[in-house]
Amino acid sequence: MAEITIKDIAKQCGVGISTVSRAINNHPDINPKTRKMVMQVIEETGFIPNNSARNLKRTDAKCIAVLVKGITNPFFSNMIQIIEEETQRNRYALVLRHVEAKEDEVDVALELEKEKRLRGIVFLGGRFTHSEEKLGKLNVPFIFSTIGVDISDWVGRIEFSNITVDDKLESEKMTEYLLSLGHRRIAFITESPEESIGRRRIEGYRKAFIERGLTAPEELICYVQEELDHFSMENGYITTKKLLESKESVTAIYAASDSLAIGVCRAVLEAGKRIPEDISVAGYDGIELGEYYNPKLTTIKQPVEEMAKKTIRVLLDVIAGREEHQQIIFPAQLVERESTAAIKE
Domain count for the chain, please give it: 3
Say which CATH number the domain at 28 has. 1.10.260.40
Going across the sheet that includes 63-69, the strands are 93-99, 63-69, 118-124, 142-145, 161-165, 327-330
Same domain, 87 and 213: no
Q: Print the domain residue range for 134.
A: 46-164+304-330
Same domain, 275 and 320: no
pLDDT of residue 57 exceeding 50, the answer is no
The alpha carbon of 308 is separated from its chain's Cα centroid by a whole number of angstroms, namely 12
pLDDT digits (tens, 9 = 90+) for 299-335: 999 999 999 999 999 999 999 999 899 999 999 999 9
Say which CATH number the domain at 230 has. 3.40.50.2300
Same domain, 33 and 52: no
The Cα–Cα gap between 192 and 197 comes to 9
Q: What is the largest CA-CA distance in the chain?
A: 70
pLDDT digits (tens, 9 = 90+) for 131-184: 788 888 999 999 999 886 666 555 556 788 999 999 999 999 999 999 999 999
